[in-house]
Structure 1
Amino acid sequence: MSKAPQIAFETTLFVRDHCLCLHAQRAARALARRFDDALRPLGLTNGQFSLMMSLNRPEPPSMGSVASLLAMDRTTLTAALKPLERRGLVATVANPADKRSRLLALTNEGRSLLANALPVWKRTHSDVDRLLAEHDAGGLRSALRALD
């Protein structure tokens, strides 16, 4: 039986220092914690805030369009919606044009909570923008969008 190949520790250090995926994941977790902490007094996570904000449209969107916007599969979106529906913040309704498809809408309570959460998000985002001031946050946003 042959021995498994060995990877030099220097290679591990190189990957640690250069892997864009690792750095993006670490940054995403740090950002998520920051926004989760800020939104916690309102009973929201950053993911719930983003999901509710994605529903803030003139017409209720389809599950597919929301899943696409949030880069989620429909199963993950369905699971993310359940706690918001249980709290009466989001409603899922049949699409009048196609009874097989579902539309998503904020309830009045959901719109009120989102309006209360928005100033918290703005303050937190301003704090993040200040932290990134010397690093071109706009350029970072553009670079991340290029990966979509």
Structure 2
Amino acid sequence: MDRKVYDKKPSPCNCLNIRRASQALTEVYDEFISPSNLKLGQFSLLKHINQLGPVSVSDLASAIRLDRTTLVRNLKPLEQSGFIEDMSTEGTRNRQLKLTDKGIETYKYAEELWEKAQNFLEEYLGKDNIDVFTTLLSKIEALVP
């Protein structure tokens, strides 16, 4: 995928630079996976449910480091689209989520597109820079429990 690269000046604020970079990366991934009709956040949820499922909402929230209320809100469109289902016994409060056949098919297609985004960024930034970037992001994330 050909993308135009713009020369943008960084801010003196590190936080703003990271937020801008995050928005730019999300936009790139969203563009790559758009043929699957998923956004990056939805793909990430399907990926985690696929890996962990069946999984409770609490365990999923913990695994992806997302507030439970926000997660429930983000799960609704995936449930409405028929990508995930609740496997728990009726009447129990602890939901157990898993991908449906439609969800698995959509996830696998999106994963191929996601791989293309990964490859694009590795080519654009270079493998060594990606490694440094990942190390720095992990270090930043470790600032909070």
**TM-score (norm: length of structure 1):** 0.80
Distance change >3 Å, CA 54–CA 143, structure 1 → 2: same
Letter in 2 for 1:125: Q
- Partner Cα distance (1:134, 1:110) in 2: 31
Q: Once the two structures are superposed, what CA deviation does each residue of 1:105-133 show, in whole Å capped at 9, x if it has no partner?
A: 11111001111111111111100111111
Pick 1 or 2: higher relative contact order, CA cutoff 8 A, min separation 6.
2
- Partner Cα distance (2:66, 2:113) in 1: 25
Corresponding residue number in structure 2 for 1:32:
26
Select the structure of larger CA radius of gyration.
1
CA contact 2:32–2:116 (8 Å) conserved in 1: no
Q: Please say if 1:108 is aligned against 2:101.
A: yes
Match of 1:91, SS state, is strand
Match of 1:44, SS state, is coil
Distance change >3 Å, CA 116–CA 134, structure 1 → 2: closer
- Structure 2: state its 5+ residue gaps: 1-9
Following superposition of structure 1 onto structure 2, how do residues 1-148 of structure 1 map, counting pairs within 5 Å? 16-17=11-12, 19-57=13-51, 59-94=53-88, 99-133=92-126, 136-146=129-139, 147-148=141-142
For residue 101 of structure 1, report the CA deviation from its aligned partner.
1.3
For residue 135 of structure 1, report the CA deviation from its aligned partner.
5.7
Q: Which runs of 4+ in 1 moved over 2 A?
A: 92-96
Match of 2:51, SS state, is coil
CA RMSD of aligned residues (A): 2.2
- Partner Cα distance (2:42, 2:65) in 1: 14
Match of 2:55, SS state, is coil
